[in-house]
Amino acid sequence: MYEERQLPPMTVAPSGPAFSLQDIPFSYRGSWLNVSPVVAEKTYADDLHLVSHQTGLHAILRFTPSAPATAVATPALLTWRHDGGRVELVYDGPDTVRLRGDGLGMRVEAAAGTLTPFSGTYLYCDPVDGSHVFTSYETGRRYRVTVLRGDLDRAEGVEALGAAPRSLTLNAGRAWEIAIEEYQTARLPYAENVPFDELHRHAAADFAGFVDAVAPWRTAQTPAAELAAYVLWSATVAPAGFVTRPAVLMSKHWMDKVWSWDHCFNAIALAAGDPELAWHQFQLPFDHQDPAGALPDSVTHSEILYNYVKPPIHGWALRHLRQRLDPPVDRAALTETYERLARWTGFWLTARRVPGHELPHYQHGNDSGWDNATTFDGDRVIETADLAAFLVVQLRCLADLAAELDQPNTRWSQAAEQIRAALLDQLWTGDRFDARGARTGQRHASTSLLDLMPIVLGDDLPGPVAAALAARIETHLTAHGLATEPLDSCHYTADGYWRGPIWAPSTVLIEDGLRRAGYTTLADEVSQRFRALCEKSGFAENFDAETGAGLRDRAYTWTASSYLILAAAHERRRTTPH
């Protein structure tokens, strides 16, 4: 078992905030590895594990201290401590961790105890260099343990088949140090080229440089900025498998994918401080655009899913991204992006419009990103106001890009006007937007915040429509932020996913729309409450609208990015004369 509390000073001064390993995994920029008690979806082990995200989330090795120990992490160092002894862990690049112990031993054990032809972990001693190697069927990779100082006290299960413990034990009675590497089939014996303390300093400096770049504006009034930056830094992986670029996963817990709207918020948050990484985030799903122009639902190391899509917020995101990028995108990259965005928009205008209909439709709640929102309780295949509004914004972005690139833009402007007019004529009731079944033609009203998302049009909305939306948005505002279903709704569920909890993307989109529509006081309140929520409860996938408690995956990058987006904008407004 491990528990968490503050430790005495470490051997090397820590850099950055301490954080809970129950909430945030310990990792390193570029690595597909992390150390965490999370071993599967919503599953927490008693001990910390070395977890790999190649071919999915797989707990590879269990770390068990020789005595009950306290564990604490800062961005560059993980420490277990018991009485006068301790074990420390740092990264030596993206695929290797180093551990050293003094007065505290450690058992390193295969998490999968049964070896079959199609599962489990095998342990052998390599006669070439004397190291011990765990081979994992689940990741298809090897995990080599090299003793750098001290000796193994015990090796269990070497060359064992079937069900058997497979472990290496380092003795508490003397100082020891080991390296654990993840690799494919073979590599040269591990060479200790950099001392442990120097690795710690390198990692601390790398993170410090990252946070200084992405949050140079941070002050005492933005106390969660460093931790938000760590969530992004530590969730970044190097290109591998289907991930064609450096990528910020949504999490290094079980949400270890890039979804085709989540990535937009990460791109915007990174744009000013790390423009190259930001541009990669925006482009990554477009690398897998299908022949119809659709983006995949999600991309991860060994899987691309096309069974759903995600909403076309990419025109909205590109505008925000370009406002922050310095230097600006060159003409060749902008031309390629225009062509990709045009094909993505064309998908909605052709494959997702019923013949004779002007409005596009979703086929399922998952297409909207709001999987189970009450908007979908009537029909599943529906024409919705949020989708039409996003598409209008994207069409206007395309019109501007076309003009900038000296290409005809009339078709985009005309399509934007057509869909805007249809949105107001066909779905606006006089005080709210309805949804309409794409097959049935039946109109449905709901109390979901999703129906208020056309505020994203900002000053492109008629004044009375914007006013009605702003008034309804205010009814969703709890002490902690915008509930996706009003607290007094009969459909409200505290942990109901999109039927109550507070979410980061809806907050950022609505705050931006309110501000552009002229409702700055309400926008300020939305921003302030969400920022306070993150400062209290961290960066969960979503939050209980009544208590503010973090729900589901609690190291979610789009939440961290949304905090950084809103905090940076708040600091600009606070320090820059109107």
Q: What is the pLDDT of residues 405-422, one digit of tens each?
A: 999 999 999 999 999 999
Number of compact structural domains in the chain: 2
Q: Per the omega criterion (within 30 degrees of 0), is the bond before 327 cis?
A: yes
DSSP secondary structure string for all residues of 368-402: HT-TT-GGGGS-SSEE-HHHHHHHHHHHHHHHHHH
Alpha carbon of 524 to those of 436, 455, 517, 540, 567: distances in Å?
33, 15, 13, 22, 11
pLDDT at position 11: 46
Q: Is the pLDDT of residue 2 over 50?
A: no
Residue pLDDT, tens place only, 21-32? 999 999 999 999
d(CA 543, CA 533) in angstroms, rounded, equals 9
- The closest of 20, 17, 14 to 2, measured between CA atoms, is 20
d(CA 463, CA 16) in angstroms, rounded, equals 46
Looking at 195, 218, 253, which one is the last position of a domain? 195
Instruction: Say which amino acid occupies 499.
Output: R
- Same domain assignment for residues 78 and 215: no
Residue 7's pLDDT band, with cuts at 50, 70 and 90, is: very low
Residue pLDDT, tens place only, 476-519? 999 999 999 999 999 999 999 999 999 999 999 999 999 999 99
Residue 77 located in a structural domain? yes
Residue 391 located in a structural domain? no
- Same domain assignment for residues 156 and 30: yes
Report the CATH number that the domain containing residue 182 is assigned in CATH: 2.70.98
Is residue 298 a contact partner of residue 243, using CB atoms and an 8 Å limit? no
- Same domain assignment for residues 491 and 558: yes
Percent of the chain scored above 70 by pLDDT?
A: 97
- Same domain assignment for residues 148 and 214: no
Tell me if residue 37 falls in helix, strand or coil. Answer: strand
- The closest of 313, 327, 337, 349 to 402, measured between CA atoms, is 337
Residue pLDDT, tens place only, 32-52? 999 999 999 999 999 999 999
pLDDT at position 119: 94
Q: Is the pLDDT of residue 297 over 50?
A: yes
First to last CA, the chain: 54
d(CA 53, CA 58) in angstroms, rounded, equals 6
Q: Averaged over 341-346, what is the pLDDT? A: 98
Q: Is the pLDDT of residue 167 over 70?
A: yes
Percent of the chain scored above 90 by pLDDT?
A: 95
Looking at 147, 166, 195, which one is the last position of a domain? 195
- Same domain assignment for residues 213 and 104: no
Cβ contacts of 476 within 8 Å, gap of 6 or more: 449, 452, 482, 483, 484, 486
Q: Is the pLDDT of residue 424 over 60?
A: yes
Residue 172's pLDDT band, with cuts at 50, 70 and 90, is: confident
Looking at 195, 221, 254, which one is the last position of a domain? 195
- Same domain assignment for residues 43 and 189: yes
- Same domain assignment for residues 124 and 223: no
- Same domain assignment for residues 125 and 25: yes
Mean pLDDT for the chain overall: 95
Residue 424 located in a structural domain? no
Residue 181 located in a structural domain? yes
pLDDT at position 54: 97
d(CA 232, CA 10) in angstroms, rounded, equals 25
Q: Is the pLDDT of residue 6 over 60?
A: no
Residue 418 located in a structural domain? no
Q: Is 17 left (phi over 0), alpha (psi -120 to 50) or beta?
A: beta
pLDDT at position 556: 98
Q: Averaged over 458-484, what is the pLDDT? A: 98
- Same domain assignment for residues 141 and 228: no
d(CA 73, CA 467) in angstroms, rounded, equals 47
Residue pLDDT, tens place only, 522-556? 999 999 999 999 999 999 999 999 999 999 999 99
Residue 265 located in a structural domain? no
Query: Which residue range forms the structural domain that includes residue 508?
Result: 205-234+458-573
Residue 387 located in a structural domain? no
DSSP secondary structure string for all residues of 91-148: ESSTTEEEEEEES--EEEEES--EEBTTBSEEEEE-TTTS-EEEEETTTTEEEEEEEE
- Same domain assignment for residues 502 and 567: yes
Q: Is the pLDDT of residue 112 over 90?
A: no
Residue 294 located in a structural domain? no
- The closest of 520, 450, 442, 527 to 484, measured between CA atoms, is 450
Residue 84's pLDDT band, with cuts at 50, 70 and 90, is: confident
Q: Is the pLDDT of residue 9 over 70?
A: no
- Same domain assignment for residues 13 and 158: yes
Residue 15's pLDDT band, with cuts at 50, 70 and 90, is: low
User: Within 10 Å of residue 518's Cβ, how many Cβ atoms?
Assistant: 15
Alpha carbon of 444 to those of 262, 436, 441: distances in Å?
27, 6, 10
- Same domain assignment for residues 31 and 159: yes
